[in-house]
Amino acid sequence: MSSRAFHSPQEPSCESAGEDERRNPLAVLRERTRTEHDAIERSLDLTSLTLTRDAYQRTLERFYGFYQPLERDLCEVFGLAQGEAHLAHREKTPWLAGDLLILRSEPQELPLCGDLPALDGMSSALGCMYVLEGASLGGQVISRHLRAHLGITPESGGRFFHAYGEETGAMWKAFGAVVRALVTTPEDQDRAVEAAATTFRTLRRWCERDETQ
């Protein structure tokens, strides 16, 4: 069963919407990262009826080890962008840390991923963020499953997947508006796609790695 952890909302295709690729970067990202997106969906299984609290906690620990250094790098890029208010207040690491503490794990003692996407500018940073923001959308399904199957609520260790809650749709639309405004050329799209695909791939490998690594 797919976990839907990295939901990619359906964007109208460039052809059906009557737009060329330069006007629909979200559709381009969806179409050109489909293989890596599907691979991580198959790897994660957070909506399984056999999911245990221990398995859920291990997934959060892996996510923390990936998100913490990656969001640090994203902040360095976005710190150079003035006036992009829609990119603020999107850090997920504090939610992960809070969930782990509730679940009696110590986030500061966890290993951090060193194999991160290269973020060499705004387009690549937005491509990476496309993955993280898409995960917040998919997290709504997981959040409901955690509550029903494990009794885990946003207040008891499920804050990360709850994400923005009722504001999740609006936050995605605001992010999409920034992508459309800033990823405008074929070269921009190539950089965004490469960063998004690399983010999917490196996170999957990080989550699948052996515990001894």
Give residue-wise pLDDT tens across range 109-159.
999 999 999 999 999 999 999 999 999 998 999 999 999 999 999 999 999
Q: How far apart are CA 196 and CA 130, in angstroms?
A: 7
152 lies in a domain?
yes
**Number of separate domains in the chain:** 1
From residue 189, how far is each of 25, 72, 93, 193 by CA, in Å? 7, 23, 27, 6
pLDDT of residue 78: 79
pLDDT at 176 over 90: yes
**Confidence band of 6 (pLDDT split at 50, 70, 90):** low
Q: How far apart are CA 185 and CA 174, in angstroms?
A: 20
14 lies in a domain?
no
126 lies in a domain?
yes
Task: Go through the chain and tell me how many residues it has.
Answer: 213
From residue 53, how far is each of 188, 207, 208 by CA, in Å? 41, 17, 18
35 lies in a domain?
no
Note down the domain range covering 133: 50-208
What residues contact residue 91 under an 8 Å CB cut-off, 6+ apart?
71, 75
The answer to which of 42-56, 71-85, 183-197 has the lowest mean pLDDT is 71-85
**Reported pTM:** 0.87
Torsion of CA 53, 99, 30, 200, to 10 degrees: -80
pLDDT at 100 over 90: yes
**Confidence band of 75 (pLDDT split at 50, 70, 90):** confident
172 lies in a domain?
yes
pLDDT of residue 2: 46
What residues contact residue 209 under an 8 Å CB cut-off, 6+ apart?
none
Most confident region among 15-24, 86-95, 113-122 by mean pLDDT:
113-122
Q: How far apart are CA 19 and CA 156, in angstroms?
A: 45
Question: Domain of 86: which CATH number?
Answer: 1.20.910.10
32 lies in a domain?
no
170 lies in a domain?
yes
